[in-house]
Structures are given as C-alpha cells and as structure tokens.
Chains A and B, each alone.
Chain A
Amino acid sequence: GAVVSQHPSWVICKSGTSVKIECRSLDFQATTMFWYRQFPKQSLMLMATSNEGSKATYEQGVEKDKFLINHASLTLSTLTVTSAHPEDSSFYICSARKDRGYTSSSYEQYFGPGTRLTVT
C-alpha cells in the first residue's frame, strides 16, 4: 500500500510564532498533495492544493500569506502556519495523490495521520 506520513503528529506553540508541518509520501511519488483542516467534531475542509514545482491553489477564504505551502519535491509538501493565533488551533491533515495511470479520474488519494496544532 501507499503510506503518507506527517511530522510532527502534534505541536504546541505560542501565539505569534510560526509552525511548519511536513507531509511525505513514503513509497510513491505524489504529483499533487492536498492540505485539509478539521475543527473538533467537524468535517475536513480543503485548504489548498499543492502541485510539485508550482504555486499552490488556495480555496476561497484561506489566506495564502498565512498558510504557506511549499511542494519542493514529488514526495514532500510543507505547510507553514505563520504568526499562529489560538483560532488556528486545529487538526491539519495532508493527503497525497497517486496517479494510477489509466484515466484522469482513476487516481487514489492517501491520507496522512494528521497533525494536531495547539496555539496558546
């Protein structure tokens, strides 16, 4: 199977600092990675789509200057929460898409275990 890891699994930081979260596809190359945010007892909200070698595409309402995404290689995407505030406390989940190669709709998306961010 395909494995996606996230690091760290949890982080506590002080208000005003920046936090970087890494997402790695361990045994496959990911042309596209996605970042989601999940508040307690809510669903996953897509924040942005990250494509290797190009700028990320952000969903409406997501501040690109606050949530910096870098997809430097086919196996690594990072999300940096800049100047974090308590309202940024959430569960951040990444996923990596593996193209199965036969049709554009036939891909599989694998999810990381999530990173719990608490901003104090």
Chain B
Amino acid sequence: SQQGEEDPQALSIQEGENATMNCSYKTSINNLQWYRQNSGRGLVHLILIRSNEREKHSGRLRVTLDTSKKSSSLLITASRAADTASYFCATDAVRKYGNKLVFGAGTILRVKS
C-alpha cells in the first residue's frame, strides 16, 4: 500500500481543546510533512519535519517525529472551529529512483463551537 496509517480516522472535539493526530509509516524517510485539506479544496502545507529532527513548532501546531517507531504526531492546541478539516501526513520516502511524497489515510477533525 502507498499509504501509511493515521489515527484516529475521525476526531470530534470542542473549541478550545487540543487535538492530537498520529501517523505511522513503513519506510525510511527524508522528511515528514503535515497538510490540511478543507472539504473539496486543495491542500495547505502546515509543517515539515526532517528525519534528524524530533520536534517542531509552528504557531499552535506541534509535530513530533520518532524514526525508531516510524511514527509522528500532530498536536493542535486551543483548537478553533476554523481548524475543522482533514489532516494528512505525507512521507518523503527514500527511494532508488527519485523521491516522492506518499500520503497517509488522513484524520477528519471536527471542532465544535
């Protein structure tokens, strides 16, 4: 399968709460990226974490990477209704004939106001 696994598949929280999404992958990677997609729209790049990094912050976003477990997590703090979207992790995997970005299954986040 091209895709890694993400959990949960769907997450519903109240505005102001934190949301945590997890991603696992199978191969060695150069970096891992998180994207947001509003319903029926294109992708918005959120954050990139390199394979030699363990944690990265961007505003209300915090991403961790554990290459020994081949997993990553995305934490959104103090969630807002506008954070309602699908979130995907994507791995830039090490490949013999050129890198390519492979997406996880995604987590649908709903933030209730």
- Chain A residues engaging chain B, CB cutoff 8 angstroms: 32, 34, 36, 41-46, 49, 51, 57, 59, 91, 93, 95, 104-105, 107, 109-114, 116
| Pairwise interchain contact A111-B45, C-beta atoms closer than 8 A | yes
Given contacts A32-B98, A105-B30, A107-B99, contact A44 B45 (CB under 8 A): no
Given contacts A34-B100, A57-B97, A93-B42, contact A46 B2 (CB under 8 A): yes
Per-residue 0/1 for B32-50: is the Cβ within 8 Å of any A Cβ (1 yes, 0 no)? 0001000011110100001
Name the residue on A nearest B31 (C-beta).
A105
Contacts of A91 in B (CB 8 A): 40
| CB<8 Å pairs between A and B, sample of 6 | A42-B105, A44-B43, A44-B88, A57-B97, A105-B50, A107-B99
Given contacts A43-B104, A46-B2, contact A104 B99 (CB under 8 A): yes
| Pairwise interchain contact A43-B100, C-beta atoms closer than 8 A | no
Name the residue on B nearest A59 (C-beta).
B2
Sort chain B's interface into a size bin. Answer: 20 to 34
- Chain B residues engaging chain A, CB cutoff 8 angstroms: 2-3, 30-31, 35, 40-43, 45, 50, 88, 92, 97-106, 108
Among A44, A51, A59, A116: residue with most chain B CB under 10 A? A44
User: A-B contact count, CB below 8 Å?
Assistant: 53
| Pairwise interchain contact B97-A46, C-beta atoms closer than 8 A | no
Q: Give bound CA distance, A59 to B105, whole Å.
A: 17
Interface class of chain A by DSSP: strand
Q: Give bound CA distance, A111 to B38, whole Å.
A: 14
Q: 5 nearest interchain CB pairs?
A: A105-B30, A113-B42, A111-B43, A44-B103, A43-B103
| Pairwise interchain contact A105-B92, C-beta atoms closer than 8 A | yes
Contacts of A93 in B (CB 8 A): 42-43
Contacts of A111 in B (CB 8 A): 35, 42-43, 45
Name the residue on A nearest B51 (C-beta).
A105
| Pairwise interchain contact B42-A49, C-beta atoms closer than 8 A | no
Q: Give bound CA distance, A43 to B102, whole Å.
A: 10
Contacts of B102 in A (CB 8 A): 46
